[in-house]
Copies of this chain bind each other. A is one copy, B any other.
Amino acid sequence: MQIWRVDLGTGLLQREPVPESWARLGGRGLLARILLDEVPADCEPLGPRNKLIFSPGLLVGQMLSSCDRISIGGKSPMTRGIKESNAGGTTGLKMASLGIRALVIEGRIPEQIAGAGWRVLHLSLEGARLDPAGDLAGLGVTEAAARLLQRYGEEVAISLIGPAGEMRLSAAGIQNLDLDHVPSRIAARGGLGAVMGSKGLKAVVFDPAGGSRPPIADPEAFLEARKKYSRNLLGHPVPAVYRDYGTASLVMLVNAMAAMPTRGFSSGQFEGAEALSGEHMRELMLQRGGESNPTHHCMPGCTIRCSNSYGDPKGKVLVAPMEYETIGLMGSNLGIADLDVVARLNWEANDLGLDSIDLGAALGIAAQAGLMGFGDGGRALDLLGEIRRATPLGLILGHGAAAAGRALGIRRVPAVKGQAIAAYDPRALKGTGVTYATSPQGADHTAGNTLRAQVDHLDPGIQAGLSRTAQINMAGYDTLGACIFSGGGFAVAPEVIPQFLNARYGWQVGTDILQTLGRETLTLEREFNKRAGFTSADDRLPEWMTSEQLPPHNSVFDVAAADLDGVFNW
């Protein structure tokens, strides 16, 4: 495996061996290491000193179920701290088959060229090219991806931005193709699409021609571990639920614990939850048929297949996939109890290349400001149209909830470090609240969700430890390239992780490797943020969530500051 380094100023590619100190990292952990080593923490996120980095996790490339994720990172224009955002799809796999441990994109397309149009960075074993892409400017990712596939062939992986990234909106993500070539696997959070836009890149194309599966030091041991892992994953009850109902299976569960964001985070239960539930969604998809498909995989080889294709009454796809977080932020949070409406909003967000979490939270701010009525899906769609047309109101919303709150004078903004809270109200799920508050990534449920812990989620005294464990584990999984849902398979037999790594790389790591990687990653990330100027004052939930009671439990977020400050004292 190599480090591929592209200087956009010159168009030159350098292929370097992986430095010793980076060799035992991949994905999120490697991003943190590279950012700390190479990117000045005080740089402007959209300026020339920031870098955009892609790195598949350590296990990527072997088509292990749920273990082919790509991590994308840089300094975030949204949080102004370190940012890693990961996604499924085919990007990680194709990068691994090119032998790329990390792709480091430096500088930016010189302005005289950028003025003449956008560029596509094309990478293959033959090297790097910066192809003109002026014809793609302003296109949504659906149309842009179709043209790129036509141009570069069906075998390539593509990471691309939509109009949101071109506009350098803080809520812009980077889309990746799924197995059906749909550009819907978005590295959504923290504005990495804006970083890509600031560099003058519309897309990165990975052409795997001539590449091969990364070598395995001990194939027999690897195969044995694979069998054990697959068996455990298949036998676990939680992935089975995800297979049938997708992440939308969480709707009724989170609503039952009264943590469902509802009408601008003003209640933890939504009277329309049934209509948004995974159960109802499955029923609709089975009923409607056609292109609808409740069980779909986002990465090759995944046995969980939590993804889906959601079709309209005629069976034509409205959006694929429809996920819980989007349902929470663009459904209940907006008072919308109609999955078809949420699907249309979701498709628009995807096509614009926008994070549906921050965008949904921003629409909730717009509703609080009287710019739309709660429940008015038509108006919400109009507001997405404003973003596409780059109107001032569109810009306000496209920068996400925190920026919208400031512009529109709304105090009740659900965000930490400038990034919106996901679809679990932290006043009813306080462990995840601790993660929102303290994660170096800003509010992020994937950084350590305590949802499934068998504890009293309202008891403030026990949450910091839960969050600590979850954050360490997740940073470890993100370094492996493993999906959050692989945890079901790994948790039953944690020794499988070192078995995989030792067989793949010829290492001798022990059973605590997941936690070792997780702690190392978090330590690196926190060091970057410290250099960027973050302090414990940034590790707090918004003030209003500590005083405004959340019905029906009428709970507030009341985990002690000392507990928050102690999360990383391991």
Chain A residues in contact with chain B, CB under 8 A?
Answer: 41-44, 46-47, 49, 167-170, 198, 391-393, 395-396, 399, 403, 406-409, 411, 531-538, 540, 542-544
- Tell me the nearest residue of chain B to A530, going by C-beta: B535
Q: A47-B544, A535-B535, A542-B44 are in contact. Are A406 and B396 (CB under 8 A)?
A: no
Q: A407-B396, A538-B533 are in contact. Are A543 and B168 (CB under 8 A)?
A: no
Report the Cα distance A208→B162, complex, angstroms: 62
**A543 touches which one: B49, B170, B391, B537 (CB < 8 A)?**
B49
Complex contact B540–A42 (CB within 8 A): yes
Which residues on the B side are within 8 Å of A44 (C-beta)?
411, 542-544
Which residues on the B side are within 8 Å of A46 (C-beta)?
409, 411
In order of increasing CB-CB distance, the 3 nearest A-B pairs are A533-B537, A392-B393, A392-B392
Report the Cα distance A392→B44, complex, angstroms: 26
- Tell me the nearest residue of chain B to A371, going by C-beta: B392
**A407 touches which one: B41, B198, B403, B533 (CB < 8 A)?**
B403
Report the Cα distance A393→B395, complex, angstroms: 9
Q: A391-B392, A531-B537, A535-B533 are in contact. Are A409 and B43 (CB under 8 A)?
A: no
Q: A169-B409, A392-B392 are in contact. List 6 more A-B contacts (CB 8 A).
A: A43-B543, A167-B409, A168-B409, A391-B392, A392-B407, A403-B407
Please classify the interface of chain A as helix (H, G, I), strand (E, B), loop, or mixed, using the class held by over half of its residues.
Answer: loop
Complex contact A406–B544 (CB within 8 A): no
Please give the distance in Å from A363's CB to the nearest CB on chain B.
14
Please give the distance in Å from A411's CB to the nearest CB on chain B.
6
Please give the distance in Å from A82's CB to the nearest CB on chain B.
13
Which residues on the B side are within 8 Å of A411 (C-beta)?
44, 46-47, 198
Please give the distance in Å from A64's CB to the nearest CB on chain B.
40
Complex contact B392–A537 (CB within 8 A): no
Please give the distance in Å from A145's CB to the nearest CB on chain B.
23
Report the Cα distance A198→B410, complex, angstroms: 10
Which residues on the B side are within 8 Å of A543 (C-beta)?
42-44, 47, 49
Please give the distance in Å from A390's CB to the nearest CB on chain B.
9
Complex contact A406–B408 (CB within 8 A): no
Which residues on the B side are within 8 Å of A409 (C-beta)?
46, 167-169, 395
Please give the distance in Å from A345's CB to the nearest CB on chain B.
20
Report the Cα distance A536→B406, complex, angstroms: 25
Which residues on the B side are within 8 Å of A392 (C-beta)?
391-393, 395-396, 407
Report the Cα distance A44→B547, complex, angstroms: 12
Which residues on the B side are within 8 Å of A403 (C-beta)?
403, 406-407
- Tell me the nearest residue of chain B to A395, going by C-beta: B407
Report the Cα distance A105→B201, complex, angstroms: 51
Please give the distance in Å from A167's CB to the nearest CB on chain B.
6
Which residues on the B side are within 8 Å of A536 (C-beta)?
533
Which residues on the B side are within 8 Å of A542 (C-beta)?
44
Q: Can you list 18 A-B contacts (CB < 8 A)?
A: A42-B543, A44-B411, A46-B411, A47-B543, A49-B543, A167-B409, A168-B409, A198-B411, A391-B392, A392-B393, A392-B396, A392-B407, A395-B408, A395-B409, A396-B407, A407-B407, A533-B534, A533-B538
